[in-house]
Chains A and B, each alone.
Chain A
Amino acid sequence: MFGDEFVEEETGSESFLYADIGSIWTRAVLVDQVDGRYSFVARGEARTTLEYPAANIVEGVREAVQEVERASSRTLLGGDGESGPQVLLPEDDDGDGVDAFLVTTSAFRPLKAMVFSTELSAEARAALAALHAFYVDVVGTFTVPQKAGGDWGDHSLADLFQTVDRQRPDVVLFVALDKAEPTPSIEHFLEVLNTCNDLYDVRQRPTVVLVGQTTLVSHLAAQIETMNPVEPVSVGEDEAAGAREALVNVMGKLLHERRLARLPGFGALQAWSETPVQPTAVAQARAIELLARQLRRRLVFVDVGGEHSHLVMADADFTYSMVRPGLGLGFQLQELLKRVGAEAIFRWVPGLLPERELEGLLIHRSWYPCVPPATRDALWLEQAAGRAVLQELVAGPFRHLPDSFRGVNGHVTCDYVIGAGGVIQGAPEPSQALLLLLDTLQPTGIVHIMRDRLGLVPALGVLSQTEPEAVADLLAQHILESLGTVVVLSGPFQPGKEVLQFRMIHPDGATYTVTVEGGRIYREYLAPGMRLELELRPARKVDVGLGPGQPVRIHVPGGTVGLVIDARGRPLTWPETLVEQRRQVQEWLFDVGG
């Protein structure tokens, strides 16, 4: 599906091994050249070994690589030294080892940040949005008062001290893009910072990131650097927009210093790899940005992780990346249940298992996140929890969509949706993964849906910096599983009433016409790699993304699910009782063959 848009260049590496260390799973993937083109060879996974008894991330990587060795019958580890076997680099004449070893990780706690600003201008807000891409948990946002004794935005000074005392932020971000010289309010910030420092052990004081005009930043940095580590982000008077890029670099550095580099075993792992170990979400965002630029299409990417989840929206000119720390299918499930309530999760579980039992199973799952869902009920519950996580992830960003992603009635629209994370890539039926993404993102228009079955999207992000032709080869070989094309119908319509007629025109000229009723989902088989012409004739007020009643004739690609017509409307509507809602979900699942 993808691949032709990428320019191929000559590079040195022929084979590479990629490892992603998540909070729960460590996964390894081997890619090698076959007939001159990069191809997926084998993958393996093991539990992440951050905890006792190993307490060293290297152990989990070794186990995952050993899985790859077994699957590929190749030797990739060797050199039983003092610190144990390591990845053999480069590949030798016997085919042992690999030419490159790439690593990404998300197995760390988020950075805690407190944000102080003199005035939150549009530029300042744009700069701060960059924080979300770096596993940052903003524990408080305060506006510096004009004079001592004033309020700090919506908070008092007491709130501020209490936040510092309870949260002990790693980073204090001070944004003053509108000021060139120190003012009394900025001096007041320095006093407060000094007092906050008393709450810390001297060696653990937060790093202060100063974002502002050069003269002010220099002045403040000189005063603060005697108390705290300082990272200046200087921008010219009329270059406030440039603050974002500079802040991205600083946050990347801080995340590396304060989290990645402190992972047990990080030093050993970094020594094996010539490419710096990167945060998974940063590599994912880079890959999605690259795809969007090359294809000139709008992409929405979501990853449901164990401890963090990630959303990326990108088109030819714009990229938005947001990591939600603490939102995942690991131990935080119990918190999620408290936050969103049982009904928000259990409505997505078809079947008759009582709520009390579902609750017990969900908590059990949060204590044992590695246990695979063995029964259908356990699988539905896991996918229901995945839906709740995704809904939380996109709720905020989808309320403030950029114009290019705003579809019918303000719902999101895009050309491609890509899903990643265990619950999506591990769904045994592709239709389950497709429906999970469709139910939670609720896109409008005509969308192609894919999943990152091999977990290689972050690797593409790392490779794009050094081996761009490997990215092209891998994409050309469908490393992203194409689930299918979805046509979403929006507008006022009654369940059971005719809302669309569509005609499928096969390459051999054969045609097939279907009438669609409101409230249902339709699935037509259209195999991966196939394309067919589709003629859509919506009813008068029904919108397929081009305006109410507008017919359209398009060519659509197939997928492992095929072609799906989603006539449930936007937003999805629910029957009154939980029992009816679960029955409704059962029907939707049945409609798509899940």
Chain B
Amino acid sequence: MEPFKTYVPEEVIVSPRVRVRRERMLRSLGQLFVRIGQLVHPHDVVAKGPGHTTIHLVDVAAELKLKPKAALKAILVEPGQTVKAEELLARQSGLFHRKELRAPVDGRVMQIDPLGRVVLQVMAEGETLRAGLQGKVINLMPRHGVVIESVGAFVQGVWGNGRSHVGILRLLASSPDDQVSPEQFDVSVRGSIVVVGRTASADVFEAAARARVHGLIMASLRPELLDVAQQQDYAVVVTEGVVGAAMAPPIFDILRRHDGHEAVVHAVFSPARPRLRPDILIPLQVEDAPLFHAGRPLATGDVVRLLAPPLLGKVGTVRDPWVGLGMLESGVEAEGCEVELADGSVHFVPLHAVERLTGAERLGEEEEPSEI
């Protein structure tokens, strides 16, 4: 039996030119608004889901600053009653004041609880599904969703704050290790997707919000700033992680090449779904591009990012994709590969501690883009 082992690594796409196909699926069956072959822009609505019932709780006691008993007296509606948005829900009149509370939404009163809360049953609007990227509709899944294809430079990150935006890519960082200051966020970056280099401070997040950017792209983010990033209205994509690494050179190189071009940032992240990665797409007006195929085994020449200390965040090239078992400094035994770093040093790295930067090996072959 052949002792050699093939190993399919984790991978992120870092490609100067790739054909991206993205499924845009509704959470429940709905209606599609596009046809095959149609060209779409990121903000175009491609499908809508059905409305669904949800609950809206109106805390009359808290809103009118009343005790529960008083709130119950002030409530003007009854269970079963239908109310319109802005319709009067509760009123309390005193000698010198009058307090009123209106329904925030259309709904039906399900219940009024003893704490002075009105439970409204609300028909929520259905999900609106937008294209999310510029491209062509290549497949329809009736009532479920669509597949959109686009060609462009494409970079996947490791963490995102859940927002999606479009904007002009602006490089404020001059190198993968650079760090920008809040003062650099002036009116010229409004509506842009800004590349800030190694990391961002809390001040930078604030300055970016004031400048109304559409996105920030950075290599690393300190753990205590994850919540700050999460709260921003603009998209935030972290390309490396939380341990202070500089931006991987192939990623910085792609972003640098496209400074001034339109980019679509899709900052999705779900720790429960590690392969759902945030990404940055810079659409290119070219037809010819390879299609990405996931699941290729690790091979000699692959560009990889290392995921375990002491080499965490380093980028290198695979010299031998499988060299058998090795003993790590921790005493743990693991199967590994051999990786050569930029300084020429060669290291044994556990197989599960490499992540392929798929497409990065083609960076040297690609010309600088002349026009988009």
Contact = CB atoms under 8 A, between A and B. Distances in A.
A75 B2 CA distance: 12
Interface stretch (A6-14, A250-258, A287-295, A367-375): A367-375
Nearest to B311: A374
A364 B330 contact: no
A438 interface: no
Interface in A145-171: 149, 151, 156-159, 161-162, 164-165
B294 A371 contact: no
A339 interface: no
B113 A157 contact: yes
Contacts of B334: 372
Interface stretch (B38-46, B52-60, B134-142, B256-264): B52-60
B229 to A, nearest CB: 13
A360 B243 contact: yes
Tell me the interface secondary structure of chain B in the complex.
loop
A378 B308 contact: yes
A53 B295 CA distance: 7
Given A360-B222, A372-B352, A378-B309, A157 B329 contact: no
A393 B119 CA distance: 36
A161 B275 contact: no
B364 interface: no
A51 interface: yes
B222 to A, nearest CB: 7
Nearest to B11: A53
A195 B353 contact: no
Interface string B233-273: 00000000111100000000000000000000000000111
Counting chain A CB atoms within 10 Å of each CB, the highest count among B115, B294, B328 belongs to B328
Nearest to A155: B113
Contacts of A364: 241-243, 307, 312
A201 B51 CA distance: 11
A56 to B, nearest CB: 12
A363 B242 contact: yes
B369 interface: no
A376 B330 contact: yes
Contacts of A161: 55, 57, 110-111, 119
B321 interface: no
Given A52-B294, A70-B5, A372-B308, A379 B271 contact: no
A591 B110 CA distance: 64
A361 interface: yes
A178 interface: no
A490 B166 CA distance: 64
Contacts of A162: 55, 57, 119
Contacts of B271: 331-332, 334, 366-367
A331 B222 CA distance: 18
Contact of A70 (B3, B307, B333): B3
B250 to A, nearest CB: 19
Given A156-B113, A199-B55, A364-B243, A378 B275 contact: no
Contacts of A52: 275-276, 294
A374 B309 contact: yes
Nearest to A332: B271
Counting chain A CB atoms within 10 Å of each CB, the highest count among B110, B114, B158, B332 belongs to B332
A69 B113 CA distance: 63
Counting chain B CB atoms within 10 Å of each CB, the highest count among A149, A334, A378 belongs to A378
B329 A374 contact: yes
Nearest to A380: B330
Interface string A51-94: 11110000000000000011001010000000000000000000
Given A162-B57, A331-B271, A372-B353, A429 B331 contact: yes
A379 B330 contact: yes
A161 B53 CA distance: 12
Contacts of A371: 307-308, 350, 352-353
B179 to A, nearest CB: 17
A365 to B, nearest CB: 10
A428 B275 contact: no
B103 to A, nearest CB: 16
B110 A375 contact: no
Contacts of B52: 201
A123 interface: no
Nearest to A382: B330
Nearest to B329: A375
B47 to A, nearest CB: 17
B28 interface: yes
Contacts of A377: 309
Contacts of A576: none
Given A360-B222, A428-B332, A165 B111 contact: no
Given A161-B55, A198-B53, A199-B54, A375 B111 contact: no
A357 interface: yes
Contacts of A53: 275, 294-295
Nearest to B348: A374
A51 B273 contact: yes
Contacts of B224: 359
B7 to A, nearest CB: 9
A367 B350 contact: no
A162 B334 CA distance: 48
Contacts of B333: 428
B328 A374 contact: yes
Nearest to B334: A372
B117 to A, nearest CB: 5
Contacts of B55: 161-162, 164-165, 199
Task: Name the 8 nearest CB pairs between A and B, nearest first.
Answer: A428-B331, A331-B271, A53-B294, A156-B113, A379-B330, A165-B55, A374-B308, A360-B243
Interface of B: 1, 3, 5, 10, 28, 52-55, 57, 110-111, 113-115, 117, 119, 121, 158-159, 222-224, 226, 241-244, 271-276, 294-295, 307-310, 312, 328-334, 350, 352-353
25 contacts: A51-B274, A70-B3, A149-B114, A156-B113, A156-B117, A158-B113, A195-B110, A198-B121, A199-B54, A331-B271, A357-B243, A361-B309, A363-B223, A364-B242, A366-B271, A367-B158, A371-B352, A372-B352, A374-B353, A376-B329, A376-B330, A378-B308, A379-B331, A428-B333, A429-B331
Given A70-B1, A374-B332, 13 more contacts: A47-B352, A164-B55, A198-B53, A331-B272, A332-B271, A363-B223, A364-B307, A367-B158, A372-B332, A373-B308, A375-B328, A377-B309, A429-B331
